[in-house]
Amino acid sequence: MTEFDLDRIGGRRALDALVDAVLAAGEEALRIQTAGLDVEIKGDQSPVTQADRAVEERLRAYVTDAWPQAAFLGEETGSIGGGSLRIVVDPVDGTRAFMRGLDTWSVLVGLEWEKEPVVGVAFMPARGDLFVGAAGGGAYVNGRPCRLSKVGDLDRALLGHGGLEQFIERGLDGLLPALAQATFTQRGLADFANYAALLQGRMDVVVDPGVKPYDIAPAAVLVREAGGRLTDLRGVDTIHGGGALASNGRLHEAALAVVQAHS
């Protein structure tokens, strides 16, 4: 990833203001969760709550005011506008976990410049963990540099994934068993929580077969800035390939070989 000039978005002050907006949005989601959730099922059979909509609206209002010429992509709103800069938002990444009171959900905001992720902010309100990264500027969790694991052998790796149904829905029934055989142990944390574990050195490889750009835009910046790799399942450096493979970097080619052999 090449270095990104933050002056294109207003400099460090603009990034700090964005972080503050994400923190405030996360606190709003917590308040709504505490008060009680109304759940609807969308056309794709995924759940949505009033928190998803309120947080996205809050963040959309903020970013369209801060960067009026920017395009916007939100999970609930869809795509609006065009231009070199695009703001990508997942207001509650992990709505099912959020509904059940688990602590693995996040508020995600990524910035793309000419379709390349360049800024990533991820806040896990129930844990109080804040991840911030910018291309050429490093990746940080709670103000400290992210530290990836140094595991170099796939058969000693801890693999994270989003759940068996993701693999089955995409015709990849044999991939998760193959990965289980190739790695030391596996955990299905789901959503950004997998990438959070990777960024804190607690996980070594993440395979996410069904993702949209708003699911992984921040993770792409954070993982790469921490020294790891994030590609699609073909090994291409993109968040637009419909799937993601992330790693500490040392294990990427070995994990990719397993993925490609069973895809």
What are the pLDDT digits (tens) for 156-167? 999 999 888 889
pLDDT at residue 2 in the model: 60
Q: What is the mean pLDDT of residues 247-251?
A: 99
pLDDT at residue 8 in the model: 92
By CB neighbour count within 10 A (0-12 exposed, 13-18 middle, 19+ buried), where does 36 fall?
exposed
Residue 190 pLDDT greater than 90, yes or no: no
Banded model confidence at residue 1, pLDDT cuts 50, 70, 90: low
Residue 104 pLDDT greater than 90, yes or no: yes
Whether the CB-CB separation of 231 and 256 falls below 8 Å is answered with yes
Banded model confidence at residue 249, pLDDT cuts 50, 70, 90: very high
Residue 107 pLDDT greater than 70, yes or no: yes
Judged by average pLDDT, the poorest of 1-5, 104-108, 188-192, 227-231 is 1-5
pLDDT at residue 80 in the model: 93
Q: Is 124 left (phi over 0), alpha (psi -120 to 50) or beta?
A: beta
Q: What is the mean pLDDT of residues 12-35?
A: 96
pLDDT above 90 covers a percentage of the chain that reads: 90
- For domain 6-145, give the CATH superfamily: Fructose-1,6-Bisphosphatase, subunit A, domain 1 (3.30.540.10)
Round the average pLDDT of the chain to a whole number and report it. 95
Residue ranges per structural domain of the chain: 6-145, 154-261
Whether the CB-CB separation of 187 and 162 falls below 8 Å is answered with no
Residue 243 pLDDT greater than 90, yes or no: yes
Q: What is the mean pLDDT of residues 223-231?
A: 99
pLDDT at residue 189 in the model: 87
Q: Which CATH class is domain 154-261?
A: alpha beta
Strands 71-74 and 116-124: unpaired
| Rg of the chain in Å (alpha carbons) | 17
What are the pLDDT digits (tens) for 128-153? 999 999 999 999 999 999 999 999 99
Q: What is the mean pLDDT of residues 172-192?
A: 94
Residue 115 pLDDT greater than 70, yes or no: yes
Residue 67 pLDDT greater than 90, yes or no: yes
Banded model confidence at residue 43, pLDDT cuts 50, 70, 90: confident
Q: What is the mean pLDDT of residues 121-128?
A: 98
Instruction: Provide the token pair at 46.
Output: 């995924």
Helix then strand then coil, in percent of the chain rounded to 5, is 40, 25, 35
